[in-house]
Chain A
Amino acid sequence: MTIDSCAVQVRGVTRDFGSGDAVARALRGVDLDIPHGELLMLVGPSGCGKTTLVSIIAGTLQPTAGEVHVLGHDLVAMPPAARVRFRRGNVGFIFQSYNLLPALTAVENAAVPLIIAGWSRRRALPAAALMLDRLGLGDRLTNLPSELSGGQQQRVAIARALVHEPRLLVCDEPTSALDAENGRVTMDLIAEIAVQPDRAVIVVTHDTRVYPYADRIATMEDGQIVSVEDRHRQREARAPSDPDGGRHP
């Protein structure tokens, strides 16, 4: 795949932590391509380098060596300030522990990326409210995170991740803190709303129940991608007439 046809292209990426004798190599020459419109799941045991890889792809961490192109931008060569701007405009985040600001209401939390992008509150809050409404939280706009269930908090986090329409969505264990039903609802929403032809979605997960939502599953072990399973082809073979591509399990 070429850089232009890929949302994410990672080549020979290594990442070391520490120095000297205490150096720990978290990534050992990772190669990965993620085309536009794909939902890729990154799986593997704890400590295998999933979080490090996704942090590098999201532009929050620099690799020790290798090349990282995201949405046509060379993140390695990009100065830090430009990387901050790049994240602001192009990357949406869904975290395992939600990381909602506890003092902000649901709609205010969802509006944060727009506020960071320089929108006025008067413009940002209605846009955030609209997104929350799409996610079924139209009646919870003014609730604080502490007044919401885990599943509702994760939906606020999804709204926050998507409200500024990023072209790369990075989800870190989005269902691990949720029960089965809420986990399914969360993945349904990500699959329905987040996956778009011009957007790539990366989901780091341990949760095997959500594997059916993936287009491809990259398995990592010991800092390397050891296999990539193409679920999209399996789905096509299984349910060629399913309008959502057979993502729903």
Chain B
Amino acid sequence: MLWIAWKMLIGNRAKYLGIVFGVAFAALLIAQQSSIFCGLMALTVSQILDVEGAGVWVMDPKVRYVDDVKPMADTHLYRVRGVAGVDWAVRLYKGIARARLEGGAYEQVILLGLDDATFVGAPLTMIHGHIDDLRAPDAVIMDVVGYGKLWPGEPFEPGRIIEMNDRRAVIVGLAKARKTFQSFPVVYTRYSQAIRFAPPERKVLSFVLADPVPGVDPEALAERISAQTGLQAFSRDGFLRKTVRYYLLNTGIPLNFGITVGLGFLVGTAIAGQTFYLFIVENIRQFGALKAMGTGNGTILLMVLAQALHVGVVGLGVGVGLAALFGWSTRSVSKLSFFMPWQVLVMTGVAVFLIVLLASLLSIRRVFVVDPAIVFRS
């Protein structure tokens, strides 16, 4: 009987495509908007993700997310190093600086000051130059997207000069860095250099990056550091969660995207539900004939659910496929954030399942109440 249901469904090509379009449209909207939302959330934590090797982040107790820097005294570094279970701990400067370009124009940049000795937090992939080039006087490395933003279309020229805080900085290399939420160019330099590029402040230490000795859990170490120093400490994952949670709770981003996703769900349900309902109504005599010939309501329910499931699976595939195609085709567009984790696929699948379930439930009543004697009426 499922075979008959399938043939009935695809036999009416226009209706079939209409239902699939409705479901696919909803799936596309839900998956695409959710992926852009996830992409934006990924941007907020990109600088945490870019710092490899440090299992624990230590910061001022008032810090709420990674860009909310509250400078600390340098002495906190030594207090962290004194906590049992800390294998090593280094400084990290993070701030916004104003860079003056050759032509006199000013651009804001994200300035990262890496530990002079170890370069913990340095970019993993260099496009031009070498990370050790940072040891040269006034040397900075810029992220490749930021460089393209400051000098559009121009090839990389080693030795290019910018000024920050009236001090010259020499660009010695280009690195690959994740896109940031502020979308400013990222400039890497040594910690001792960074505090000269930054506006003068009494306290300048942004974060202490630490790593536990082998066998110590980063979460446990973070708790111990917090307890012993009074500072705020998180494992890398914990800091990711804290930052994302801040954006979720304190910005309108989830609401705005939630509204679009909700609209996608509603529109998809409306289109798919209405078209599926019309499909059922158009076939009501066929269902009546099947009932007259001895098909029970249970089998009819299975047939309708199978039809709904079929359009759901096809619509989900088309919609998610189009969303993925959109993400793939815009991967080189630096202003667009698109990140489709498996959770988006699951969420879209659940939404589509609900859409086709609602659509079939709207229609199934008509089939249940249809009198098989309808087939005797012309």
Contacts and interface: CB of A to CB of B under 8 A. Distances in A.
A85 interface: yes
B294 A97 contact: no
Given A101-B8, A104-B4, A173-B378, A113 B294 contact: yes
16 contacts: A51-B373, A84-B294, A85-B294, A86-B294, A91-B293, A91-B294, A93-B289, A93-B293, A95-B289, A97-B285, A99-B288, A99-B289, A101-B7, A103-B7, A112-B290, A176-B378
A88 interface: yes
Contacts of A113: 293-294
B285 A99 contact: yes
Given A95-B375, A99-B289, 4 more contacts: A88-B295, A99-B375, A103-B11, A108-B7
Interface residues of A, number: 34
A205 to B, nearest CB: 13
A99 B371 contact: no
B4 A89 contact: no
A95 B377 CA distance: 9
A84 B299 CA distance: 11
B294 A89 contact: yes
A116 B373 CA distance: 18
Contacts of B372: 60, 87
Give the interface size bracket for B toward A.
Answer: 20 to 34
B292 A93 contact: yes
A103 B8 contact: yes
A123 to B, nearest CB: 13
Contacts of A86: 294
Interface in A47-100: 51, 54-55, 58, 60-61, 81, 84-89, 91, 93, 95-97, 99
A204 B376 CA distance: 10
B228 interface: no
Contact of A60 (B8, B10, B292, B296): B292
A78 to B, nearest CB: 13
Max chain A Cβ within 10 angstroms of own Cβ: one of B290, B292, B295:
B292
Contacts of A172: 375-376
Interface in A109-129: 112-113, 115-117, 121
B283 to A, nearest CB: 8
A58 B7 contact: no
Contact of A115 (B1, B286, B288): B1
A45 interface: no
B290 A54 contact: no
A239 B285 CA distance: 42
A138 interface: no
A86 B292 CA distance: 11
Nearest to A104: B7
B1 to A, nearest CB: 6
A176 B231 CA distance: 92
Interface in B197-246: none
A85 B285 CA distance: 20
Contacts of B376: 51, 54-55, 60, 95-96, 172, 204
Contacts of B285: 97, 99
Interface string A161-204: 00000000000110010000000000000000000000000001
A101 B293 contact: no
A64 B288 CA distance: 21
A102 interface: yes
Contacts of B11: 101-104
Contact of A87 (B7, B10, B294): B294
Nearest to A90: B294
A105 to B, nearest CB: 9
Interface in B327-378: 371-373, 375-378
Nearest to B295: A116
Contacts of B294: 84-89, 91, 113, 116-117
B12 interface: yes
Contacts of B288: 99
A204 B373 CA distance: 14
Contacts of A91: 293-294
Contact of B371 (A61, A85, A87, A117): A61
A55 B373 contact: yes
Interface in B284-339: 285-286, 288-296, 299
B3 to A, nearest CB: 6
Interface string A208-219: 000000000000
